[in-house]
Chains A and B, each alone.
Chain A
Amino acid sequence: MTQEGMFKPALIGGVLLGILSAIPVISAFNCVCCAWVIGGAMLAAHLYVKGAPLAVTLGSGVLLGLLTGAIGAVVDTLFQIPIQLALRPFTSGFAEQMQQVFDQIPNLPPESREFLRNMLAGGQGFGILLILLAGFFKLIVYGLVGMLGGAIGVAIFEKRKPGQPPAATPPYYPPPTNYQPPPPPPPPPPDAPMQP
């Protein structure tokens, strides 16, 4: 599998981690040692190792994890925007909803909370800007954690030694295209004596 072949496993792992990180309540699992990010990168590593004819190295795992984390961050941010818009009718407003998000960061100092509240008071544009800013932070953080997940995934799923050649496969000889099976033997005449 070439380095270009990393894209498909990274896309699968990244999209899955991005969606799971965007869904409310389920996304809280990321707070348990970045579970979704590490899990997404490990899934990508598993798919990549499975399809690679030679042993995958840690360097490839790190690169794959970085790509997976970056894709996950983009998908997460893209999903956050419609989810927030969809939840808006059930809340008092976007600014209040973002306020609830900040209230969930328990150790945010009062001055910081006041700063963010004033920023949100600027209108919906600032709220969207905040989601995009958070998305930029996620790009960095998910990328870094993804690298770790990719290395861990390769360490767990790769059992071959580096440089080990792939298992030899027997040569395959397809049948000739103009092959005609021999005609069946004619049946014996009914009055012919039985041969000893």
Chain B
Amino acid sequence: MRAAIGFPTNPARPLLLLLCGGLCLLIILAPALAASKGSAPEAAFIYLFFAPICHQHPERSFFFLGHTLAVCHRCTGIYFGLFLGLMSPRAISRLVSSPLVRRVWVIAAAAPMMLDVVLPYLGIWTNGAYSRVATGGLFGVMVSPLLLEGIAELFEREPTSPSHFPAPLSKGGIS
């Protein structure tokens, strides 16, 4: 019987909470280190860590202790949304067990964020800090059950069990 997520037998939830919590902590720690004298190298490395995946523009980032967070508004929403979503009850993870529901769920999670990114370029909508954080946070909260289910499944796989899928069928008949 599949072990419930969150019980000590399946470390998926605590592991992901630790990982996501660590990332959220780094995001806040960067400006705190930048503000404290003598911690510039550590702050530099944290900003460099997030640089490949975030533009880090000051006008699109929150400020803390006089310095910007390590990521922009939207990314802040995504990371903190992931963290909050990982604390959701198991029932929500069960909602996304069906392939059709899963597909609709992902589209519903991504659509507001995509619209918030694209519509300003078309001149239809002007996004702001709150819309970026809100749409990013919604995306993070909604995709967290998928990540949690996926990681939980990896821990439930026995290392000695045979692979889940048979060898592919050869062309021209059953081999």
Q: Considering the chains assembled together, what is the distance between the CA atoms of A158 and B136 in angstroms?
A: 25
Q: How large is the interface on B (under 10, 10 to 19, 20 to 34, 35 or more residues)?
A: 35 or more
A88 located at the interface, meaning its Cβ lies under 8 Å from any Cβ of chain B in the complex: no
Q: In the complex, what residues of A have CB within 8 A of residue B74's CB? A: 33
Q: In the complex, what residues of A have CB within 8 A of residue B58's CB? A: 106-107
- Which residues between 106 and 154 of chain A lie within 8 Å of chain B, taking CB atoms? 106-109, 111-116, 133-134, 137-138, 140-142, 144-145, 147-148, 150-152, 154
Contact (A30, B165) CB under 8 Å given A62-B154, A152-B146 = no
Write the chain A residue with the least CB distance to B68. A107
Write the chain A residue with the least CB distance to B172. A172
A10 located at the interface, meaning its Cβ lies under 8 Å from any Cβ of chain B in the complex: no
A178 located at the interface, meaning its Cβ lies under 8 Å from any Cβ of chain B in the complex: no
Q: Do the beta carbons of A109 and B146 come within 8 Å of each other? A: no
Q: Do the beta carbons of A148 and B157 come within 8 Å of each other? A: no
Q: Considering the chains assembled together, what is the distance between the CA atoms of A156 and B56 in angstroms?
A: 29
Q: In the complex, what residues of A have CB within 8 A of residue B55's CB? A: 28, 31
A37-72 CB contact bits vs B (8 Å, 1 = yes)?
100000000000001111101111111000000000
Q: Considering the chains assembled together, what is the distance between the CA atoms of A63 and B149 in angstroms?
A: 12
A12-25 CB contact bits vs B (8 Å, 1 = yes)?
00000000010000
Q: In the complex, what residues of A have CB within 8 A of residue B154's CB? A: 59, 62-63
Which of B37, B55, B136 is most buried by chain A, counting CB atoms within 10 A of its CB? Answer: B55
A78 located at the interface, meaning its Cβ lies under 8 Å from any Cβ of chain B in the complex: no
Q: How far is the CB of B57 from chain A (nearest CB, A)?
A: 6
Contact (A109, B99) CB under 8 Å given A32-B117, A59-B153, A152-B106 = no
Q: Do the beta carbons of A53 and B169 come within 8 Å of each other? A: yes
Write the chain B residue with the least CB distance to A113. B44
Q: How far is the CB of B97 from chain A (nearest CB, A)?
A: 8
Q: Considering the chains assembled together, what is the distance between the CA atoms of A32 and B161 in angstroms?
A: 40
Contact (A112, B106) CB under 8 Å given A33-B78, A51-B168 = no
Q: Do the beta carbons of B143 and A148 come within 8 Å of each other? A: yes
B61 located at the interface, meaning its Cβ lies under 8 Å from any Cβ of chain A in the complex: yes
Beyond known contacts A62-B150, A109-B44: 18 more, CB 8 A cutoff: A28-B55, A32-B117, A33-B136, A34-B53, A53-B168, A59-B150, A59-B153, A59-B157, A62-B153, A109-B67, A111-B40, A137-B48, A142-B53, A147-B147, A159-B103, A160-B99, A169-B169, A172-B172
What residues of chain B have their CB less than 8 Å away from a CB belonging to chain A?
A: 19, 23, 34, 37, 40-41, 43-44, 47-58, 61, 67-68, 74-75, 78, 96, 98-100, 102-103, 105-107, 110, 113, 117, 136, 143, 146-147, 149-154, 156-157, 163-169, 172-174
What residues of chain A have their CB less than 8 Å away from a CB belonging to chain B?
A: 1-5, 21, 28, 30-34, 37, 51-55, 57-63, 105-109, 111-116, 133-134, 137-138, 140-142, 144-145, 147-148, 150-152, 154-156, 158-161, 169, 171-172, 174
